[in-house]
Chain A
Amino acid sequence: MTLGLTRVDLPKGAATREAFGDALAEAGGADDRIVVVDGDVNNSTYTYKFKDKYPERFFNVGIAESNLIGVAAGLAGAGKIPVASSFSVFLLANAYDQIRMGVAFPNQNVKLVGTHAGISIGEDGPSQMGIEDVSLACSLPGFTVIVPADGPSTAAATAAMLQREGPTFLRCGRPSVPVVYPGAADVHIGKANTLRDGDDVTIIANGIMVAMALDAAEGLAEEGVEARVVDMHTVKPIDQNAIELAARETRGIVVAEEHLAYGGLGSTVAMVVAEHRPTPMAFVNIGDTYATSGTPEELLTKFGLTPDAILDAAKRVLKD
C-alpha cells in the first residue's frame, strides 16, 4: 500500500530564502559588524530587506561572484561579519577556489548564504539549481553547513550562524514550504532535532525533505510502522550521537535530501553508520543527474523526492 502521495503540493507559507532575509535584516540592528555582499540578486535572495535598512553596510558588487567572495573575505579579515549571498550554485560553483583560498583555508568568518537550492526552483531549469552545493561546501575543511527545513528554523539558523564564529554555508530554497516548527524553532548548530519518535525505522532528512519525512511517517504509522523523524539541519559538523542512537534503537535508516547522491547528507550519515554501527540504509535524493524545467511539484515527483519515495525506502530497509 502507498499513501497516494506521489505528488507533493507545496502549500503557501514562508520560503526559507524569505525567512533568511527577514532574520538577516533583524540581526543587522543588533550587530553593526554585519555587512552584506550581493551579486545583483538581492531581490531574489531577500537581502534587499537588509539593504533597505542598512544601505551603507550593503555592497552589490555586480554579477561577479569570484569578486564577491574575495570582497567578503577581505571584509572578514577587517573584522566585519560578511554575509555573502547569491543563488547557491553561483556562490559555490562559480567561486569555489575563491571560497577555498579566501575563506576556508584561512578560516575566515564569512557566511555564505545560497538561495535557489535544489530542483524545487522549477521552471528556470538546471543551470540555476544548486544541487552539488552541499557536497562542495562539506568538502571544505572547517566549514559549517546548514540546510534548514522551514521558515522558523531558517530564522533561528540565521541568528545562530551570525552569532557563531567561523565559515558557514546556509542553504535556502525558492518556493514556499510547509512549516514543521510551528512557533519559534530551536536550532543548535550541530545538534539534530528529533521531530517524531519511533523505534522501527529512522528517517533522517533536511531542507524540504523534512516535511515529506513527517508525511511518510504518518503513512507508515497507518501500517503499524513507527518511524523516528530526525531533522539533520546541520550536515557538518554532523550530529554523530543522533545517528548512533538511530542505528542502535531502530532497525534501519533512510536519508532524504534534495541534493545529488554523492557527497551530501546521505554520504555523511553513511560514513558515521559504517564506522560506528552498521545498519541497513536507503537513500532518497536526486541521484546522479541534472534535472530539467518543470513546475516544482512536477520535478520533485519526477526525480523521486516525495513522501511515497521515503515510505517505500523505509519499507526496503525494514525488509533487509
Chain B
Amino acid sequence: MPQTRPAERSELPGIAQRLRRHIVTSTTAAGSGHPSTSLSMVELLTVLYFGGVLRYDPSDPQDPHRDRFILSKGHGAPGLYAVLAEAGYFPTEELSTLRRLGSPLEGHPNMCRLPGVEASTGSLGQGLSIGLGHALAGRLDGSGYRVYVMLGDGESEEGQVWEAFMYAGNHGLDNLTAIIDHNGYQQTDAVDQVQPLEPLTEKLASFGWAARTIDGHSLDEVIEAFEWARTTKGRPQAIVARTTKGKGVSLLESAPGKWHGKPLPPDEEAKALEEIGAAI
C-alpha cells in the first residue's frame, strides 16, 4: 500500500522554493515552455506531494492502490516535472533536458515516457474526465485510492470539463478532487475578459460538488483544503485556488497576459532566482 511521504511542515516553503527554481531554470534552458502557468500551482503541488496528501511510491509508480494526480492543464508540465523530480521519480539533473530531443520531459506530459505521469495531456479540457474514469474504477474495485485533477481557469471554459463535473456530482464520487488553478489569465487575455467563470463555487455546488475558494499560495490554507477534501463524504470536492500567474517572479507577475507560454530570457534568470530565494 503506497504511503504519503510528508515532509516537515517547516520544510514546505523550501520545497516550494526549489520547485520555483526548477521551473525557471528548466524553461529558460529550453528556450520555450510555460513558467508562469507552472509557478501559480507551486504551493498546490508542494502540499500534494510533500504535505501528506498523495500516497505514492516512486519505486512502484504503477501500484494499483496509489493515489492519482492528473495535470489536466498539461502546459504546466515544467511544474509537474519539478515536483516529480523532487519526489524521487527521476534525478533533478534531468530537468535540464526539458523539451529536448530524446528527453522524456516533453513539452506536454506523456504518460508513455515518464513514470509518475498519470495522463497524457496538452489538449485542454480532458483531464477531469480521465480522473473521473480512475475514480469510477477505484469505486468499482473497492480500492481506497483518491484522484486529484488540476485544471486551469481558462481550461474550465471547455464543455467537456462541465460534462465531467456534472457526472461526478450526480454520482457522488467523493474519491475525486478537482483543483482549479484560478490565476485569472488564459492565453490571450484575462479570464474575466474572455469568459468570466464567476460565481464559480456556486456553479460547482449546483453541479453537486463540495466547493470552496482558498488562497492557493498559503501553504496553511492549501493543507487545510486537502484535509477538508479527504474527509468530505458523498460528494466530489473542488478547491478553487486563487493564485497569481507567474507567482514569485515579479517580471512574470507584472504582465501575466504577456508572459503566457514564454520562458524568462537568460539575462532575467539570475534576478528571478534571487527573488525566489536560495533553496533551504
Contact = CB atoms under 8 A, between A and B. Distances in A.
A43 B159 contact: no
A125 B100 contact: no
Contact of B122 (A125, A295, A299): A125
Interface string A34-66: 000010111110001000000000001111111
A128 B106 contact: no
A42 B194 CA distance: 12
A60 B33 CA distance: 23
A131 B188 CA distance: 25
Interface in B124-167: 124-125, 154-155, 157-159
B248 interface: no
Categorize the interface residue count of chain A.
20 to 34
A163 interface: no
Contacts of A42: 188
A6 to B, nearest CB: 14
Contacts of B32: 122-124
Interface string A295-306: 100110010000
Interface stretch (A89-97, A139-147, A219-227, A255-263): A89-97
B159 A67 contact: yes
Interface centre among B74, B100, B103, B121 (most CB of A within 10 A): B100
Contacts of A292: 101-102, 106
Given A62-B195, A127-B74, A293 B106 contact: yes
Nearest to B155: A63
A63 B107 contact: no
A38 B154 CA distance: 14
A70 B99 CA distance: 35
Interface string B173-189: 00000000000001111
Nearest to A51: B188
B188 A299 contact: no
Contacts of A66: 159
B194 A125 contact: no
A126 interface: yes
B188 A294 contact: no
B99 A63 contact: no
A66 to B, nearest CB: 6
Interface centre among A122, A294, A302 (most CB of B within 10 A): A294
A260 to B, nearest CB: 17
A90 B124 CA distance: 9
Contact of B103 (A41, A124, A293): A293
Contacts of A67: 159
Contact of A127 (B33, B121, B154, B155): B121
Contacts of A43: 187-188
B33 to A, nearest CB: 8
A147 B158 CA distance: 28
Interface in B78-125: 99-103, 105-108, 110, 120-125
Nearest to B75: A124
Given A62-B195, A64-B157, A128 B122 contact: yes
A89 B101 contact: no
B106 A64 contact: no
Contacts of B214: none
B30 interface: yes
Contacts of A64: 157-159, 195
8 contacts: A60-B189, A62-B157, A62-B195, A123-B107, A125-B108, A127-B122, A293-B99, A293-B100
Given A89-B123, A123-B30, A295-B101, 11 more contacts: A41-B188, A43-B187, A63-B124, A63-B154, A63-B157, A63-B186, A94-B123, A127-B74, A292-B106, A293-B99, A293-B100
Interface of A: 38, 40-44, 48, 60-67, 89-90, 93-94, 122-128, 292-295, 298-299, 302
